[in-house]
Amino acid sequence: METPGTLIALLHGPDQTGLVARVAGWIFERGGNILHADQHRDREAGIFFQRIEWEPKGGDASADTAAFYEFAASIGMNARVLSSAQRARVALFVSKADHCFHDVVLRWKEGELRCDLVAVVSNHADLEGIARGYGIPFHHLPVTADTKAAAEAKQVALLKTLDIDLVVLARYMQVLSADFLQAFGKPVINIHHSFLPAFAGGKPYHQAHARGVKLIGATAHYATRDLDEGPIINQDVARVTHRHGVDDLIRKGRDLEKTVLAQAVRWHLEGRVLVYGNKTVVFD
């Protein structure tokens, strides 16, 4: 990803003999230079997955992109092609909790996240001064039960005006409706403060404490119309004991939330996540 002008293709489709050779051969025949290649086969479903990154001959990314889609279709593969020269435009959705917000912004400022963070959107005004201090435009769009549909329509309009490619929910404590997700039509990554599918919904640390668990976790996933059930990108856990109260679980969980979300966003931006059904393949 650090090499300018590279292309990344994510492919999946029915497994068949010779796919790796045919993809590599196509790139070779066009004068391209393969930098990275990884593949996986789902033996139960009979599906082949591949991520391949290459330098097109003469840096002609646009010609290779269009041609690769045609090639992939000819061998029965679904494909998505990304260019490392194009930086995704990202909007960060927040509420009042600021730990994931700070972490994502600081990683972006340090160059860890290859994107343009162009907006912070919130249903509260608490983080406005901090966002503007970071130099990021802040958009306060209040949401109540009575105004949710209208507020989401304003959010979608804003995202389209800003040409946003990805929304990151950094502990945005609102459930996005199916209408919002359909109208936006692009990926939304959420961080949920539990090891899904356990303790979905509200107050998962309270649920975990009441259940007496010995592990707590955090889950980054793509948002879908079904609450906390979208394809999982990244997860991690921390050990807890009977000596830990709810506040301890929340404190330990915040560390998990930050790292799990940041890694998921990084993998997405680097074109390492391939979604199929309600699952993902995450390439190294």
- For 197-212, what is each residue's pLDDT tens digit? 788 888 888 999 999 9
Per-residue pLDDT averaged across 219-229, rounded?
91
- Give 1's pLDDT tier (boundaries 50, 70, 90): very low
- For 118-129, what is each residue's pLDDT tens digit? 999 999 999 999
Instruction: Copy the structure tokens of residue 51.
Output: 């991520």
Check pLDDT > 50 for residue 85: yes
Name residue 42's amino acid: D
Neighbours of 202 (CB within 10 A): 10
- The model carries a pTM of 0.92
User: Which one-letter DSSP state was computed for residue 31?
Assistant: T
Catalytic residue list: 228
Sign of torsion, CA 97 266 128 164? negative
Q: Name the 3-class secondary structure at 198.
A: coil
- For 155-180, what is each residue's pLDDT tens digit? 999 999 999 999 999 999 889 999 99
Check pLDDT > 70 for residue 282: yes
* 8 Å CB contact between 176 and 188: yes
Check pLDDT > 80 for residue 67: yes
- Give 4's pLDDT tier (boundaries 50, 70, 90): low
Task: Say which residues have a Cβ less than 8 Å from residue 184's Cβ, sequence separation at least 6.
Answer: 156, 159, 160, 164, 167
Check pLDDT > 50 for residue 3: no
The domains found in the chain, sorted by start residue, are 7-83 (3.30.70.260), 88-282 (3.40.50.170)
Q: Name the 3-class secondary structure at 159.
A: helix
